[in-house]
Structure 1
Amino acid sequence: MPSQVAMGLVRIEELITKLDRAAIKHLSRLPALRSLDLEIPDLQHLGSSASVSQPHPFPALRNLSFFSSTIDFAVEFLDVLSDCSLSSFRIGTEVLATKFIIGQLYSALPNHLSHTALESLLVRLTEEGYMPTPQADMITNYVINGRILAPLFYFRNLTSISLSPPVGFDIYDATAWEIARAWPKLCSLELSSATGLHHPSRITLDGLRAFAKHCEALTCIAITVDASVVPQIDDNVETRLTQSSLLHFDVGRSPILDPSTIAQFTSGLFPCLETIDTHNEWLWDDPLIEDEDGEMAEAHALHQRWKEVEALLPNTVSNSVS
């Protein structure tokens, strides 16, 4: 029924529904359609039947979302578009996608979308959804490295990015600098994992300097770092690199040894930082959780050490009030 209704639409500007191939093809001809939220039933694929003959399909489309769908479908849908001036592209999925499939998406985006118009990019787990965790010995089939991520660097005007592949990222400090230089207008950045299996981070605390130098508007960052080694702190206020916009830092499962020196480093680099969050930190507020196995105990200890860092920040709520 939604597809039959869609086939009769002419002046619609926004549509959120499940559609078949013929209805999507019809919508591509509408001159005023600005927002399209697609939930694809039964994981259907567009296939060759979705090819569009007109030279500029979806001429007014600015916001495109796929929810309860697959990355495969989104890649096939992108083939319909040609230099589309989207400002927002979002995918929510619960289906495991290998690094090959995700790489196809990251490569397809700059091939079919305007490099200057896109401002918001979200590819992550569906809200309140669940994605099955891959086997640990298969982690290399799912982890995203800098080479796979690189095609997204064409989008120079991105302000909000949320990418959560199944097991996260395998990137280094050099990639952090590439990210910061490629996306200088970022206000929010999330690079996380969608499952319980997480590839260890190779970005160090020193790599955070990239965002302090190039991303002046960044207020929220969610990225795992290796905080086991703390870089030397520049005590000279005239030469010290600082960024005063960052307020919130989600460290995920970042390893940590010395909270006090990390607090000194992070507050020196980001003097207005207020909060530090960890992976699933809501767990530690649950009174029903009493017995912790080895993995849970380690995660709890990590959370507590990062909360020590937060408590030492000069701009935390408790310190600001006092």
Structure 2
Amino acid sequence: MQRALDVPEIVLHICAFADDSTLARLARCRSSFHECAIEVLWCDIPALSHLIQCFPADVWREEGGELKFVKLPGLRDWSRVFHYSPYVRRLGLWHLPGATLPRINPQALWTVAALKPTLAIFPNLRTLSCVYGSQVPDECTPALLSLIGAHVRDIYLRLRYLPDILPSTLSYISEKFSHLNFLTIKFTSGSVTSPLPELSLPLTTHSLTRFECHDRVVLDKESFNLLSHLPRLESLVCTLHDLLEGLLLVSGAAREAPPFQALRELYIDTVLPLGVVPSSVVALNAVQIVRLTLWEPPEARHIPFLFHGIRRLFSPSALTYLNVELKGGSQPIKLPACLRPLLDFRALESLVVCTHCGLCLDNRLCAEMAQAWPRIQYISLCSRNPSEDVLDLPTLEGLVPFAIHCPDLNSLGLQLNAQDTQYMQMSLPRRSKRPSLTSLGAVCCPISRPDQVATFLARTFPRLTNAFPTSYGSTGSGPAWKKDWQEVNRYLELFASIRADEREWVEVEREGENQCGQIPPI
């Protein structure tokens, strides 16, 4: 049996749903509402200017939209600061265009950090979000962190890449915040220059469950090794110069416990392509979500190593989401044999393969993919520079296995040849469940007879309402193909309207039959 709430707890729950103007009026009362309203108002504050304004009026002033001290605050001047600051749970320092809140003079923030009478001004803070352009300059990030208690759970920093300040900032976070769960570091565009800077992490807290380092700042391999030993790390976002080198180091250091034993999500960019993965590399069998981005274009002969390496690193029974993006490169690559290692991932629900070079599939591989991935919901096999060569492309027949074996597939994107009309009148095999496909991405697909193509697609995928053309060039056959696919899309929208109207009539007729079959009351 649950404990009954007392009156202050009930009032606090009521205040949690009130707007700011109502809370401000309640805070001016001398009733039981006062303290509850104050607690809710101060729970989530958008600016440190509220903190400075808690000092006596003769201690600070606003000048040019900036708060600064006119004299050093004395010990008695902190009373209102420490009355309100324990209520703060979330501190979100965002850049808000048009906001009227004043900025804080950097010297004022350093003064608060140096003269604070206690270890932390915000002892109960749980979430800190600080972005570039907010009230706090990036150079003052260490001062800001010194105001926070050790029990903070989530830190989000978006700032300029400052190599002189960043290492000390990370060291301070690692040493002080032993209860930290989430750490996200992002950098402003233009502050990360080439060659890519390398970041070295200190020994991070063992309570960390998610670590994100964005914007192509490279982690050194020792930092990657440290992260691999965190027992609770579930999500990792980072960039490595050489992923294979990092995995070899991690595997060699895994003596007592396997690396990344709790990892479920891995979003990783690598500068060098993934080569042959030796058997000594420990597989990451618990990972369910993988996004792998290769920034340097691999040679065509290295493409098979990539997909064999993915099969070697991850468990077929665990992996559900796979996104592989290859940057650069313009050579057409024959991918049917290369993609076959991915057929072992029977639990796959989403697959994205995106390259700058041509992708070449065939009907046989489409059938194998459909049979291998019965749970698949999303497939996108695309190229930013697709070839207009129609040879070795799957035809419309290659779509039929997806309608038979993938009942949950709702989005499919690939390059196919819709010029062959011999399959358009084929009888479709009986299916146990209506296909769920609603969106088809036609990636630079050659086409003829748009009306027949639309009819075939509507029969194969009755729920399909959108066949959107993508990646069509402005020269060659591209504009004509795109126009024909737009016509296919118009047909599909028309078919969907007709089907919806037909369903309404079927329901009306069924209701009429049920009413006719009822025995009239006596």
Relative to the length of structure 2, the TM-score reads 0.51
**2:262 paired residue number:** 60
| 1:35 matches 2:215 | no
Counterpart code for 1:29: H
Q: Distance in 2 between matches of 1:317 and 1:269?
A: 13
| 8 Å CA contact 1:61, 1:86 repeated in 2 | yes
Return closer, same or farther for 1:13/1:243 CA change in 2, 3 Å cut-off. Answer: same
Deviation at 1:233, TM superposition (A): 2.3
| 8 Å CA contact 1:243, 1:269 repeated in 2 | no
After TM superposition, the structure 1 = structure 2 runs for residues 1-322 of structure 1, keeping only pairs within 5 Å, are 1=167, 3-17=199-213, 18-40=218-240, 46=245, 49-50=249-250, 51-54=252-255, 55-67=257-269, 69-70=270-271, 72=273, 80-124=281-325, 131-134=327-330, 138-139=331-332, 143-195=333-385, 197=387, 200=390, 201-230=392-421, 231-234=423-426, 239=430, 243-280=434-471, 294-295=475-476, 298-314=477-493
Q: Cα RMSD between the aligned structures?
A: 3.1
Return closer, same or farther for 1:216/1:317 CA change in 2, 3 Å cut-off. Answer: closer
| 8 Å CA contact 1:249, 1:275 repeated in 2 | yes
Return closer, same or farther for 1:53/1:240 CA change in 2, 3 Å cut-off. Answer: closer
**Cα deviation per residue 1:68-93 (whole Å; 9 max; x = unaligned)?**
x3362597699753242111010134
Q: Which moved more, 1:190-199 or 1:6-15?
A: 190-199
Higher relative contact order (CA 8 A, sep 6+): 1
| 8 Å CA contact 2:367, 2:401 repeated in 1 | yes
**Cα deviation per residue 1:248-303 (whole Å; 9 max; x = unaligned)?**
0001111001101101100000111111111247x9xxxxxxxx6x43xx312111
Q: Distance in 2 between matches of 1:233 and 1:210?
A: 16
**1:287 paired residue number:** none
Number of residue pairs the alignment of both structures matches:
296
Return closer, same or farther for 1:240/1:27 CA change in 2, 3 Å cut-off. Answer: closer
Relative to the length of structure 1, the TM-score reads 0.80
Q: Distance in 1 between matches of 2:280 and 2:384?
A: 26
Tell me the secondary structure at the aligned position of residue 313 of structure 1.
Answer: helix
Q: Distance in 2 between matches of 1:98 and 1:243?
A: 42
Deviation at 1:98, TM superposition (A): 2.5
Q: Distance in 2 between matches of 1:83 and 1:133?
A: 29
Counterpart code for 1:191: L
Greater Rg by CA: 2
Q: Distance in 2 between matches of 1:246 and 1:78?
A: 39
Counterpart code for 1:311: R
Q: Distance in 1 between matches of 2:447 and 2:370?
A: 23
**Cα deviation per residue 1:136-176 (whole Å; 9 max; x = unaligned)?**
xx53xxx1432211111111010000012332322211111
Return closer, same or farther for 1:39/1:244 CA change in 2, 3 Å cut-off. Answer: same
Return closer, same or farther for 1:103/1:199 CA change in 2, 3 Å cut-off. Answer: farther
Deviation at 1:321, TM superposition (A): 9.6
| 8 Å CA contact 2:236, 2:266 repeated in 1 | yes
Deviation at 1:16, TM superposition (A): 1.1
| 8 Å CA contact 1:144, 1:165 repeated in 2 | no
Return closer, same or farther for 1:194/1:223 CA change in 2, 3 Å cut-off. Answer: same
Counterpart code for 1:255: P
| 8 Å CA contact 2:318, 2:347 repeated in 1 | yes
Tell me the secondary structure at the aligned position of residue 253 of structure 2.
Answer: coil
| Identity in percent | 23
Return closer, same or farther for 1:132/1:151 CA change in 2, 3 Å cut-off. Answer: closer
| 8 Å CA contact 1:267, 1:314 repeated in 2 | no
Return closer, same or farther for 1:78/1:249 CA change in 2, 3 Å cut-off. Answer: farther
